[in-house]
Amino acid sequence: MWKFLGVPLKKPSEVDVVKPLNNLIQSTYNGATEEEKGKYAEAVNEFSKQRNTAIWKFFEKYEASLEIVYAYYDQICALETKISVSELQIPFKWKDAFDKGSIFGGKISLTHTSLLYEKVCVLFNIAALQSSIAANQQLDSDEGLKLAIKLLQQSAGIFQYLKGATPAAVPSEPTPDLSQDTLTVLQALMVAQAQEVFILKAIKDNMKDQIIAKLCCQAEEFYADVLRAMQKESVRSLWEKEWIPNIAGKQAGFHALTQLYQSLVCRASKKIGEEIARLRNAIELFKAAQSRGGNETYLDEYFSRAKRNLAESTKDNEFIYNEIIPDLSTLASPGKAQLAKPLPIGVPLAANFKDIFSSLVPVELHRALTASDMRRNEIVNVEIMKLRESTQTLNAVLASLNLPAAVETADGNSGLPPSLKDKAVEVRQKGGIENVQTMLKDLPELLNRNREILDETDRLLDEERDSDNQLRAQFKERWTRISSDKLTEMFRTNAKKYREVITNAIEADKVVRQKFEANQKGIQLLSLPPDQIQQSLPSASGSVDPNCSSVQRLKKLMDDVETIKAEREAVESELKSATFDMKDEFLIALQKDGAIDEPALSLARIGQVLNPLQQQVRESVERQQSLVADIQSAHGDFVSETGSCGSSRDTLYQELATAYDSYIELSGNLLEGTKFYNDLTQLLVVFQNKISDFVFARKTEKEELLKDLTTESSRQACPATPALPSHYTSTSGSGSDIPPGSAPSVPPVASTANIPYPAQVHGMPIPYGAQPGVPYPSYVPAPMPQSFNPYATLQYPGTAYQYQGFPQGPPPGHYGTYPGSYANQQGGYPNQKPPGW
């Protein structure tokens, strides 16, 4: 007896989510360990399995399916907080829920590369599944009634949420099932059906007649709103053929139930005249409900009860009460009671949801942590550069003074000074000049590899843009998807930044190569064995007294130099290892304020950790200034006392000292350069993968849109037949002027294009209670045979019925309408179904 409508499902398509999601997680969490990467990959595979299971569980319309699809929706919600949703390039494809297809094949569908679009489509199907499960409940039990009420209200809440969420998730024109008008109808329909179930429960619980009458009055209004919304121009062709008759029947049915239960209230208070008026109207409305709904047994139990009560009350009134039957328009409304309403979406929906991406932190937290690490690294690098620049300045001063080699030869030993021996040994241990030359040779290859990757990404973007522009020029306004230039703006910006990084790296490579060429001779000499270096030394010009005061002072100062260098190495190591975990602090801020003030929080913690080390750097730089002054003064005394300055051996010692310092610096620079290019390669590969995913998604989207446009063109009607030439047309009407062999002229077929919907020729009912003169919904009947006129005019000139052509009242099978004050409606229902029902 109580039939409910279930919303059809959107049809999903399987898609590879593993590769794009892995690429995005890899680029977002690029500092992850191998173990963490393995966990991420495992979670992605599990997510893919979860989707493949959930999207087909929608079609198993059992209550047990809800938990599975709820869990998938919850996982989408959890995932979108941990990745940059706009960067995920997966071509999700969903077909329209209401499209029936055609003989030309294909259904209306939309492919969009957005996790938000997937979320919207999954939510739609959850609401549709809830409506279908509610429609299949056993409504003779409290459990079935309660579950149906819950699911219908939840479904209404989802459709209400989708009205706001869909425009943000689908920037282009959505499929018809996600249009605002469709979602409005579905939300209203779910609320109306939930109100209907509340009425069933109220009747089952034997609630007061007055309350049931108010509930029915509200349901009648809900179904009237649904019926009007369903017949809007934009959505009227979507519905299954039985939907509008079903809704029209229910509107009349609940109008009838309102009158029936309010008549019971009148009977209890002995208002016999009003009871009879309401029962008469209820009987006509029950007939209309059965006729409109196409179900002769619809509400038959209540219909019979109304007829019995009318017969009893009429008899009692005739023999006992003799009350005047009031006009329906004078009767007060029983009032309305709304119990059904949309329920907000709860998070999570699943009772036992478990986040498979629990190891990933929220994306806002991850960005704050990344920014904090970059801020710390910038400050640390500045302090390390201060130390290194100071050390380079100190080495340059020592090399220009031939220190410490000058004081090491003061004992008259003609061999290689010990400090130079140690430097030569270190150079050979590090691979000598061959190691530097190999790394210099590898740099161009590493550079070209990165250039090729970046060139390939530009090529992919250019090809995709050119293809889009070509099709946009071909289809013009029908090419509705977002232009490539808007979508690739971030990609282009990042590619430009990578180009700038490579340009800067090329300049750095030039500086390194120039420095190597300037010190190549000394580095090559230091790479030789000690005896060969000794043979290359010029003869000594004389000996120096090792006990003179200037020599002793310089030796002490050289010890101070080694001490300050060792201290700097220690400070640099502490700076590099100075780490701190901001995760807990950021999480507290995120939970408290809903946002993270990363600069303020990071700088405060950085100050606490790095201030002592920064102070040591400042002290070391300041101490070097006095140390250099002392060295220069002592060296001046040394030259004055010994006269040892400017020999060819001293000049070579200076060159070797400078070559050693350059070698150490070049080795570090080349190692950093090699690491930089290798790290850049990994970044560019991830960048290329993201662009490849984007291009593939756009290609899929393009193919789907082309398919839809082609199908649309196939469905278009043929153009009108050209008019016959004038010399083929008979002017006499006799046909005598028609050329031999020609067909006579055919009168034009009457067009039905101007008949407003729902016209009788379409087999669709007009809304119950439609008022004459109201622009929407309009109705103009099509011409009917004289023997069939279900839309005869009904009039109410006072308290008595008058029917056009029947002075004594309406004949059997015809009826009037109830223009009561609470409904304020006029019109009527036909007693026969239009053709095509």
Model confidence over 209-225: pLDDT tens digits? 999 999 999 999 999 99
Q: What is the pLDDT confidence band of residue 165, given thresholds at 50, 70 and 90?
A: very high
Residue type, 560: D
Share above pLDDT 90 across residues of the chain, in percent, rounded to a whole number: 38
**How many angstroms separate the Cα of 686 from the Cα of each of 24, 394, 683, 690?**
8, 43, 5, 6
Mean local confidence (pLDDT), 597-612: 88
Average pLDDT, the chain: 80
Q: What is the pLDDT confidence band of residue 763, given thresholds at 50, 70 and 90?
A: very low
Q: Are 260 and 217 in contact (CB under 8 A)?
A: no
Per-residue pLDDT tens over the stretch 271-313: 999 999 999 999 999 999 999 988 888 999 999 999 999 999 9
pTM of the prediction? Answer: 0.68
Query: In angstroms, rounded to a whole number, what is the distance separating the alpha carbons of residues 190 and 323?
Result: 42
Lowest mean pLDDT among 68-77, 320-329, 808-817: 808-817
**Whether the predicted pLDDT of 760 surpasses 50:** no
Q: Are 790 and 831 in contact (CB under 8 A)?
A: yes
Render the burial of 268-292: b for 16+ CB within 10 Å, e for the rest. Answer: eeebbbbbbbbbbbbbbbbbbbbbb
**Scanning the structure block, which residue is given the tokens 């590619």?**
495
Q: Are 651 and 420 in contact (CB under 8 A)?
A: no
Q: Are 656 and 525 in contact (CB under 8 A)?
A: yes
Query: In angstroms, rounded to a whole number, what is the distance separating the alpha carbons of residues 273 and 317?
Result: 8
Give kind and range of the element (H or E) at residue 92. strand 92-95
Per-residue pLDDT tens over the stretch 245-259: 999 999 999 999 999
Alpha helices, DSSP H, located in 177-318: 180-204, 209-230, 243-268, 272-293, 300-316
Per-residue pLDDT tens over the stretch 25-59: 888 887 778 888 889 999 999 999 999 999 988 88
The sign of the torsion formed by the CA atoms of 243, 246, 248, 251 equals negative
Query: In angstroms, rounded to a whole number, what is the distance separating the alpha carbons of residues 703 and 709?
Result: 10
Q: 687: Cβ–Cβ under 8 A, 6 or more apart, which residues?
A: 27, 453, 457, 494, 495, 498
Share above pLDDT 70 across residues of the chain, in percent, rounded to a whole number: 80
Mean local confidence (pLDDT), 372-383: 90
Residue 204 CB coordination number (10 Å): 13
Per-residue pLDDT tens over the stretch 493-531: 999 999 999 999 999 999 999 988 888 888 888 888 877
| CA neighbours closer than 13 Å in the CB half-sphere of residue 275 | 26
The sign of the torsion formed by the CA atoms of 449, 451, 454, 460 equals negative
What's the confidence (pLDDT) of residue 544? 55
Give the relative orientation of helices 142-169 and 180-204 as an angle to the nearest 10 degrees: 170
Q: 430 or 539, which is more confident?
A: 430
Q: Is residue 218 classed as helix, strand or coil in its secondary structure?
A: helix
Per-residue pLDDT tens over the stretch 307-351: 999 999 999 888 888 888 999 889 999 999 999 999 999 888 998
Q: Are 24 and 46 in contact (CB under 8 A)?
A: no
What's the confidence (pLDDT) of residue 77? 93
Q: 727 or 716, which is more confident?
A: 716
Measure the CA dihedral 758/759/762/764, to 10°. Answer: 50
